[in-house]
Structures are given as C-alpha cells and as structure tokens.
C-alpha cells in the first residue's frame, strides 16, 4: 500500500483545502458549511447540507434536502456510478452505505484520483445500498470512530438486542422507547424492528422522512405515525433532541434505549435516563475505516472529523502517508 515514491516527488494534481468543507482547485466545494456557488453534497444530514448557488447530489439526497431546506433549491441530480464533468474535474458518486442517498465522491483530473468519503459505513444498512469503494491515489476520509475502542458488534446482533429489549419491556408491562435521529437512524431502527414483526410508531418528523424513503422504494412494515396518546403495544422510535423531551415525559412507565455508535462510551444525547444502549451506527467503526483504506489503496490519506489526529497517527504507524486535515 505504501508507495516507494515520496509525496515530495509526486505533487498533488488536485488542490485540496479544508475550510468548513473541502474546496477543490478553488472552485468546487464538498459538503461546505457556508453558501457556495458550486457544491457537491454527499448526504442529507444537517451538518452536510446547505443552500448553495448550485448543488450536485444523488436524487434521494436532493429530495431530502428539499424536504429539509425548501423546494426552491437548485440541485442537479446524479445517479451513482455515472460520471459527470464539473469545472474541469471528472466526478463520480459511489454509494457510501451511510443513509438513503449517501455518496462518496471520486474526483479525477490529469490522471489523479481523489476520493472523499463524506460519512461512510461498510456494514450493511437496511435503507440503502452497501458502500462501493473505488481505488484512488488520495483519500479524504472521516474518522468519527477512528480509535480502537469503537469496534461495533455485527448489525444483526444489535438488531436482535433491540428486539429483545422491546419484548422484555412488554413482558414487564412497560412502554419501550428507542431514541434514534429523525433522518437516517430512525428509519433504519424502524425498519429493523418492523421487519422483525414488532409494531413501531414514530413522531411526525421521522414519519415525513419515512414517507420520502418510501418514494425511493424503502418499505417500513408494521410502522405507524404516533398519535400522541398511548403506544398501543408498539415501540416508540423518537429522535433524541430536547424538543422531544416533553413528548417523552407524557409516556408513563417507560424504558428508554438509545441507538448510537456512542453507546460504546455510554454517552447519552441529553440528560435522559437511558436504560439500555444499542451500538448501532451509520458510521464506519475503527476496523471498517482500516478496511476502507485497504480497499481504496491510496498513497496518501487526509483525515477529517472525529479522532483525526489519533487515526492519522495510527495510519502512519502502519507505514502509510497520512495526516489530519486542519
Ligand atoms: Zn451523516
């Protein structure tokens, strides 16, 4: 994996700058946090979307962005693995396996291949295709869970744990609640439980996102909109945000589970009484990040987000050229 030619001998072709998003060649932005003229948005989580002059995204990400930010957004839609030209760059989107519509961005110019992961996971995701990892010369990767403490059990095991939690609640005459973000995780949890034959209810915002997922062929058996009264023998899948705390308070005799990669650290989203943690993440864990690098075979790795210094050090110790991006 290590090139015999050092970086100083091989000057990068595509210029990369991190400044609240990734700027390429001074013209194209990847997931910028400010309004930019020309942006590629990898997926529809709140910290990746914005109102730009012109946005390029997959059809599902475009639809989710319009649901979140308004119909007036100008978005050019691109199917996965169909290359397009943008400001002198050849761009191809590949599934990132992170949520519906999520994509990695492969950018090519003058023989150099630069891959930006956005948010990525390699394990299976019930609501989108698995990640497809192309080979590249330079890789810009996230490292949300880039330290060895974050090694998740198989997703199937975590889904079973959630099912067991619901069954145990019902046996004890308690109301089961699972906290999961409204866009992405909530749909994955609702689908996992529903497909296991468990009745699910969700609040309005999670439901509206599910309706959009349905337009892209993702089905949610055994799921209904929560009517705000009683759970009627169902599990409530609700976002962990503070605005849902009053809704939670109205549910008596409940047990609360939380579906998140941070479960391995027992970190709660707000001062809530969490009875059980489920390490179900939409991000790659430490081993998957290493696998991502093995599969993409880059000669240089630039690390962003999360444990970027620690992960870059780990890669250097393994003989790779790697550094955190400022
Ligand atoms: Zn994300």
Predicted confidence at residue 241, as pLDDT, reads 83
Predicted confidence at residue 271, as pLDDT, reads 58
Query: How far, in Å, from the CA of 43 to the mean position of ligand 1?
Result: 7
Query: How far, in Å, from the CA of 98 to the mean position of ligand 1?
Result: 7
For the chain, what are the domain ranges? 16-149+283-324, 155-278
Q: Which residues contact 133 (CB under 8 A, 6 or more apart)?
A: 94, 104, 122, 292, 295, 296
Query: How far, in Å, from the CA of 46 to the mean position of ligand 1?
Result: 8
- Rounded Cα distance, 230 and 251, in Å: 7
Predicted confidence at residue 179, as pLDDT, reads 95
Per CATH, the number for 155-278 is 3.40.50.10890
Query: How far, in Å, from the CA of 65 to the mean position of ligand 1?
Result: 13
Burial, 149: exposed, middle or buried (Cβ in 10 Å; 0-12, 13-18, 19+)?
exposed
Predicted confidence at residue 269, as pLDDT, reads 64
Is 320 in a helix, a strand, or coil? coil
Q: Which fold has domain 16-149+283-324?
A: Metallo-beta-lactamase; Chain A (3.60.15)
pLDDT per residue, tens digit, the chain (326 aa), is 444 445 445 789 999 999 999 999 999 999 999 999 999 999 999 999 999 999 999 999 999 999 999 999 999 999 999 999 999 999 999 999 999 999 999 999 999 999 999 999 999 999 999 999 999 999 999 999 999 999 999 999 999 999 999 999 999 999 999 999 999 999 999 999 999 999 999 999 999 999 999 999 999 999 999 999 889 999 999 999 888 989 999 999 999 999 999 888 877 666 568 999 999 999 999 999 999 999 999 999 999 999 999 999 999 999 999 999 97
Predicted confidence at residue 201, as pLDDT, reads 98
Predicted confidence at residue 283, as pLDDT, reads 97
Predicted confidence at residue 105, as pLDDT, reads 98
Predicted confidence at residue 272, as pLDDT, reads 65
Predicted confidence at residue 204, as pLDDT, reads 96
Is 188 in a helix, a strand, or coil? helix
DSSP assignment of 83-152 equals: -EEETTEEEEEEE-SSSTT-EEEEEEETTEEEEE-SS---S-BTTBPPP-----SEEEEE-TT-STT--P
Query: How far, in Å, from the CA of 119 to the mean position of ligand 1?
Result: 5
Query: How far, in Å, from the CA of 230 to the mean position of ligand 1?
Result: 32
- Rounded Cα distance, 155 and 170, in Å: 23
DSSP assignment of 265-296 equals: GT--SSS----EEE---SS--HHHHHHHHHHH
Tally of CB atoms within 10 A around 67: 16
Element (H, E) at 161: helix 155-171
Query: How far, in Å, from the CA of 185 to the mean position of ligand 1?
Result: 10
């Amino acid at each position: 994996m290590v090139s015999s030619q050092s970086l100083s001998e091989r000057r990068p072709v595509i210029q990369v700058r991190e400044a609240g998003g990734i700027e390429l060649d001074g013209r194209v932005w990847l997931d910028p946090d400010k309004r930019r003229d020309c942006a590629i948005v990898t997926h529809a989580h709140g910290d990746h979307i914005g109102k730009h002059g012109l946005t390029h995204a997959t059809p599902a990400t475009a639809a989710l962005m319009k649901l979140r930010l308004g119909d007036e957004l100008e978005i050019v839609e691109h199917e996965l693995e169909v290359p397009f030209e943008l400001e002198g760059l050849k761009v191809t989107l590949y599934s990132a396996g992170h949520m519906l519509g999520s994509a990695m961005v492969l950018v090519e110019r003058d023989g150099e291949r630069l891959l930006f992961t956005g948010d990525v996971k390699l394990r299976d995701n019930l609501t989108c295709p698995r990640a497809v990892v192309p080979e590249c010369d330079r890789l810009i990767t996230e490292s949300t869970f880039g330290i060895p403490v974050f090694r998740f059990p198989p997703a199937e095991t975590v889904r079973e744990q959630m099912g067991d939690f619901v069954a145990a609640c019902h046996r004890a005459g308690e109301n089961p609640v699972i906290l999961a973000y409204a866009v992405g995780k909530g749909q994955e949890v609702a689908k996992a439980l529903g497909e296991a034959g468990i009745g699910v209810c969700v609040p309005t915002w999670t439901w509206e996102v599910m309706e959009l997922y349905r337009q892209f062929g993702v089905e949610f058996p055994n799921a209904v909109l929560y009517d705000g009264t009683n759970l009627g023998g169902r599990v409530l899948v609700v976002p962990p945000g503070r605005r849902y705390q009053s809704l939670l308070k109205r549910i008596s005799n409940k047990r609360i589970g939380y579906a998140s990669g941070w479960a391995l650290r027992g970190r709660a989203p707000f001062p809530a009484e969490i009875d059980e943690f489920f390490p179900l993440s939409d991000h790659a864990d430490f081993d998957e990040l290493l696998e991502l690098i093995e599969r993409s075979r880059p000669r240089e790795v630039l690390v962003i987000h999360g444990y970027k210094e620690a992960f870059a050090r780990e890669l250097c110790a393994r003989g790779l050229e790697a550094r955190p991006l400022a």
